[in-house]
């Protein structure tokens, strides 16, 4: 087994003000405690409010910048000498990639390339002992594998890539670049491919927070197509613990699939949220939130089913999700109920314009 990162050295996290990245930073400082250099470009989905609890914490160093800025990344790694780079920064919303794929190619492909170049240069300057400790962990998605039929076996790390959206294609390209830098240059890389995340701080364009917030406000709850598209749902804190396990004990050059063992059809997710809202935030005048469900025109290239086989990470690293979907979803709904100020701060004019762009014109 390769020697992994130790618990004392700093790490560089890209995209650490986004949904998964900010949860990872908070969890890292809670469970590990070594310093985090947090590089984020603060696009629409990056939010400093996610990290407000770290104000004044000397272990968290926030840097506003772009992963495509190779000079900036180079200066950061040489100044702080991180023992690992954990790469979350990405454009990640399929619907946005359909409307405007350019940003996805720029960030996910060219941005990852620039980051790899900077990491390669930094790695070459490390001592032999420091090189043994260093890791470059690339966080990716199960969407690179394409779609599954209802009875197909779940995705494994050996499943052939077959991306069906510009988002998935851009992440597939970045995965291949990371693999190439291991085989060509010897950069000590690790890749994780996760299923759909949910939990606190998720930007409200994604399904679960969109349904929660629309349900609270009595707005239509848009469901694509027949609502039977299936996803495997992973609570974000479980994802963070899996990444820590891969960073510490993962075999160099390997890919690890991370799943929540929680396949659900979209319509079942929506109705469960409706019932939780009726319980936790009842509105006697409006009645059941299920009445708000509105079937809308499906999005182009909508993959029918994703499912993750996470046997490899369980077998090799001893990791398995601890949160059941029902309890995780309840925690998530309660978090949005308790953090309305955060919600209002992120629902800017740009967000409202996006919702109008994506959903206007979709007929039942």
Give the catalytic positions in this structure.
142-143, 167
Q: At a CB cut-off of 8 Å and minimum separation 6, what does 189 contact?
A: 135, 136, 137, 138, 178, 179, 181, 182, 252, 253
Backbone torsions φ then ψ of 305, nearest 5 degrees: -150, 140
Largest CA distance in the chain: 68
Q: Are 202 and 261 in contact (CB under 8 A)?
A: no
- Taking the CB of residue 295, how many other CB atoms lie within 10 A of it? 17
Provide the β-strand partners of residue 192: 139, 256
Tokens of 32: 């590990």
Q: In whole angstroms, give the CA distance from residue 261 to residue 325.
A: 9
CA nearest 74: which of 115, 126, 129? Answer: 115
Which three-class secondary structure state does DSSP give residue 151?
A: coil
CB atoms within 10 A of CB 287: 11
Report yes or no: 71 and 45 within 8 Å, Cβ to Cβ.
no
């Amino acid at each position: 087994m390769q020697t992994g990162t130790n618990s004392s050295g700093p790490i560089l996290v890209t995209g650490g003000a986004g949904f998964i990245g900010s949860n990872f930073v908070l969890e890292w400082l809670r469970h590990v405690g070594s310093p985090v250099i947090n590089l984020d470009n603060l696009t629409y989905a990056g939010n400093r409010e996610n990290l407000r609890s770290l104000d004044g914490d000397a272990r968290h160093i926030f840097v506003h910048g772009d992963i495509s800025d190779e000079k900036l990344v180079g200066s950061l790694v040489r100044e702080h000498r991180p023992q690992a780079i954990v790469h979350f920064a990405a454009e990640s919303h399929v619907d946005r990639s359909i409307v405007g794929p350019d940003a996805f190619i720029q960030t996910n492909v060219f941005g990852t390339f620039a980051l790899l170049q900077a990491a390669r240069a930094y790695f070459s300057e490390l001592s032999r002992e420091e090189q043994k400790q260093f890791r470059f962990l690339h966080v990716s998605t199960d969407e690179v594998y394409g779609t599954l039929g209802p009875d197909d076996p779940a995705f494994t790390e050996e499943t052939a890539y077959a991306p069906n959206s510009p988002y998935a294609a851009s992440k597939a390209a970045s995965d291949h670049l990371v693999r190439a830098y291991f085989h060509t240059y010897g950069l000590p890389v690790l890749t994780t491919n996760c299923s759909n995340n949910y939990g606190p701080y998720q930007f409200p364009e994604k399904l679960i927070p969109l349904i929660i917030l629309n349900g609270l406000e009595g707005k239509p709850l848009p469901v694509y197509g027949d609502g039977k598209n299936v996803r495997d749902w992973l609570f974000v804190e479980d994802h963070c613990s899996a990444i820590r396990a891969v960073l510490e004990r993962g075999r160099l050059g390997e890919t690890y699939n991370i799943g929540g063992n929680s396949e659900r059809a979209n319509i079942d997710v929506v109705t469960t949220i409706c019932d939780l809202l009726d319980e936790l935030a009842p509105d006697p005048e409006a009645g059941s939130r299920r009445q708000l469900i509105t079937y809308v025109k499906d999005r182009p290239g909508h993959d029918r089913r994703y499912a993750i086989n996470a046997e490899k990470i369980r077998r090799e690293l001893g990791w398995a999700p601890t949160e059941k979907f029902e309890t995780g979803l309840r925690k998530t709904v309660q978090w949005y109920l308790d953090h309305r100020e955060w919600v209002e701060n992120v629902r800017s004019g740009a967000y409202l314009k996006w919702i109008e762009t994506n959903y206007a014109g979709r007929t039942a």
